[in-house]
Amino acid sequence: MDRIHIFDTTLRDGEQSPGASMSVEQKLEVATQLARLGVDVIEAGFPISSPHQLEGCKLISRQVRGPVIAALARAVEKDIDCAAESLKDAEHPRIHTFLATSPIHMHYKLKKTPDEVVEMAVQAVRYARGKVAEVEFSPEDGTRSEIPFLCRIIEKVIDAGARIINIPDTVGYTMPWEYSEFLKAIMEGTPNMDKAELSVHCHDDLGVAVANSLAAVRVGARQVEVTVGGIGERAGNACLEEFVMALTVRSDLHPYTTGINTKQIWNTARMLSNTIGFPIPRNKPITGENAFAHESGIHQDGVLKKRETYEIMTPEAVGRDGSVLVLGRHSGMHGFKSRLAQLGLSLSEEETRTAYERFLVIADRKKEVYDDDLYVIVSEQLGREMETYGLEYFNILSGNTAVPTATVRIKEGTEIHEEAATGDGPVDAIFNAIDRALGVQARLLEYVVQAVTPGRAAIGEVSVSLEIGDRKIVGRGASTDILEASAKAYVNALNRWKAFLSMRTGGTDESV
């Protein structure tokens, strides 16, 4: 069986989802889990785009072993130099350079002739090949490029040293059968294509990114670029878990293997969800809450008699082992650490002690602590490295005959900010009080609350989206008290804003 290489771009293209930004430490934690999942390549970031991106790539290159670590670069020397610097400590470095090749991009964006674009691409690949042993080239907007021109530029960059050629469906426009024929024409029209591995990168604007990726594999692609949960620009990318499980479940149609440990899929999806504050949709294939749920009486009867009547895969196959109740107030540090290890969650000793203290508080409140609670506790712990503001105290006066009033105390280093404010409701009052205390003018764009685990004492998880000036910032918080979770989420967003301001010089990121 042929091996399909999984190129994960969650930390680069995935992080370009509005609101999906991660701290450097959070990126490292996700990268470590991706290595545990078994991806072949981790695209750690776009180093030239900001100091934050550069530092994230450096940290991952230094500490993550096993997968190839790739860094993205435009086809210019300063980008390639920055990418090479970020990868200098990587065990297996790769520079991924790209240049637009469609007529619309060359004419309006690059303002270059086709001959100039070919020369730029060749020079960039040759220059990158002088920095690292492995270079990948992507003709941006590949599927809207002219095939004869694509064959010409691909032949030249392979001669210059590119060993992976990635054909992206940048705008998610292509249909599966169309993509298959397009790729076959490239392979047949490029004389030296046998010297490079064919890769594909599909966007999901029309909902066919995974279908396009599967179609590409059937005609010869041996690397597929994906993201966890399908996050990414606009509607996102081909979803890692959906692509891998399609190969696994339908191996009769797709006789290919990957290096993915499918039992780590659920852990990886939950970690990412908690890290960036994006809830997993209930009806999401593979990882959604309803993916293995059956409500119809007919379905329930069939599953009870034989699971395969309505389930084409088992929850255990993707790491959803059915273990619901995990720990309680009487659990010790050893049991706590053991369960974290089983879930693939790694913390330093100091971080573990702090997380354990948080666990005991939650266990006292809700008696039963579930795996999802642990994901929330750990993700909160990993997010504290960016804290400028700390929520010390809040108090609410509210009722159906009282004007909702909130008092908050925020700590900033050794300085204490305390204020009170009214609002349309208790949550609005809290947010207004925080704004007054810190002298911030923020506009609430979105407020989302969901229960993380079952029961009346469930942890509530709140995500907020704020606009400060021309910046959009997302924050999240969790607690068994939804007002506390709301206050935490708001303060978390402001911490992300402060973290962005601290690294603003030279940055180009558009969201935090």
* Structure token digits, residue 268: 């990886």
Residue range 375-425, pLDDT digits in tens: 777 766 665 555 788 899 999 999 888 899 999 999 998 899 999 999 999
Are 238 and 212 contacting, i.e. CB atoms less than 8 angstroms apart? yes
- Give me the architecture of the 387-502 domain, per CATH: 2-Layer Sandwich (3.30)
pLDDT of residue 195: 97
CA distances from residue 421 to 12, 435, 441, 475 in whole angstroms, order as listed: 40, 9, 14, 21
Which parts of the chain have pLDDT scores under 70? 293-308, 310, 321-327, 329-330, 366-368, 370, 372, 379-386, 453-457, 500, 502-512
Query: Which residues are CB-neighbours of 9 under 8 A, at least 6 positions away?
Result: 43, 201, 225, 226, 227, 232, 237
Query: Which residues are CB-neighbours of 121 under 8 A, at least 6 positions away?
Result: 75, 99, 137, 139, 153, 156, 157, 160
CA distances from residue 503 to 27, 51, 498 in whole angstroms, order as listed: 16, 7, 9
Q: Is the pTM of this model over 0.95?
A: no
pLDDT of residue 196: 98
pLDDT of residue 324: 42
- How deeply is 327 buried, as exposed, middle or buried, from its count of CB atoms within 10 A (0-12, 13-18, 19+)? buried
> In the CATH scheme, what is the code of domain 2-276?
3.20.20.70
Are 25 and 11 contacting, i.e. CB atoms less than 8 angstroms apart? no
pLDDT of residue 508: 41
Residue 167: which of 125, 136, 123 has the closest Cα? 136
How far apart CA 339 and CA 345 sit, in angstroms, is 9
pLDDT of residue 297: 54
pLDDT of residue 295: 45
pLDDT of residue 262: 95
Are 230 and 206 contacting, i.e. CB atoms less than 8 angstroms apart? no
